[in-house]
Amino acid sequence: MLSAPPTGKIRATVVAIVPVVAAAVIGNFATMPNIAPWYESLVKPPFNPPNSVFGPVWTVLYVLMAWAFYRILRSPQGAPRRHAILLFLIQITLNAAWSVAFFGLHSATAGLVVILVLVTVLAATVHAFLAVDRIAGGVLVPYLGWVAFATLLNASIWWLN
């Protein structure tokens, strides 16, 4: 028999939003001051999107992440839920760490190391979310796709520079 959801709607909303907003803020603080001149000076592959694409894409992805995490927080307690929560918190930490490594440290190498771990943990997070709530897991698939693309982009920038 399944137990009741562990948190109420308001608490789950706050708990879902805080780590996502924290990652977005950290990422923004690490990224924005380093676009010009550092990032602009890097050799980039021809498939590199214009800078104007990144903000809207990340906004949508962060909203989807928070909603998916909310659904997991509202799901019945148990080991699969705890595992999904742990993986989510690890991947959102790695999400913020990538911006610090790549932009903050001006290091495509450090960024590549972080994003390779991120994409691996994120794939495990999607799998864990699917086991708890298929909608929550499905909502993270575009994020996984974007991070996979970002991994290719980071690797290309590392190679070209």
Q: How many domains does the chain have?
A: 1
The residue range of the domain holding 99 is 9-160
Q: How far apart are CA 152 and CA 49, in angstroms?
A: 12
126 in a structural domain: yes
- Give the per-residue pLDDT at 8: 86
- Give the per-residue pLDDT at 120: 98
Query: Domain with 46 in it: what CATH number?
Result: 1.20.1260.100
52 in a structural domain: yes
pLDDT tops 50 at residue 100: yes
Give per-residue pLDDT as tens, 14-66: 999 999 999 999 999 999 999 999 999 999 999 999 999 999 999 999 999 99
- Give the per-residue pLDDT at 1: 38
Give per-residue pLDDT as tens, 129-158: 999 999 999 999 999 999 999 999 999 999
- Give the per-residue pLDDT at 158: 98
- Give the per-residue pLDDT at 18: 98
Q: How far apart are CA 11 and CA 85, in angstroms?
A: 15
Mean pLDDT confidence for 115-142: 98
27 in a structural domain: yes
111 in a structural domain: yes
pLDDT tops 80 at residue 11: yes
- Give the per-residue pLDDT at 87: 98
pLDDT tops 90 at residue 122: yes
Q: Considering only CA atoms, which of 52, 150, 38 is closest in space to residue 105?
A: 38
Radius of gyration of the chain (CA): 17
4 in a structural domain: no
131 in a structural domain: yes
pLDDT tops 80 at residue 77: yes
Question: What's the chain look like in SS3?
Answer: CCCCCCCCHHHHHHHHHHHHHHHHHHHHHHHHHHHHHHHHHCCCCCCCCCHHHHHHHHHHHHHHHHHHHHHHHCCCCCHHHHHHHHHHHHHHHHHHHHHHHHHHCCCHHHHHHHHHHHHHHHHHHHHHHHHHCHHHHHHCHHHHHHHHHHHHHHHHHHHHC
Please compute, for residue 104, the number of CA atoms within 13 A of its CA located in the half-sphere on the CB side.
Answer: 12
2 in a structural domain: no
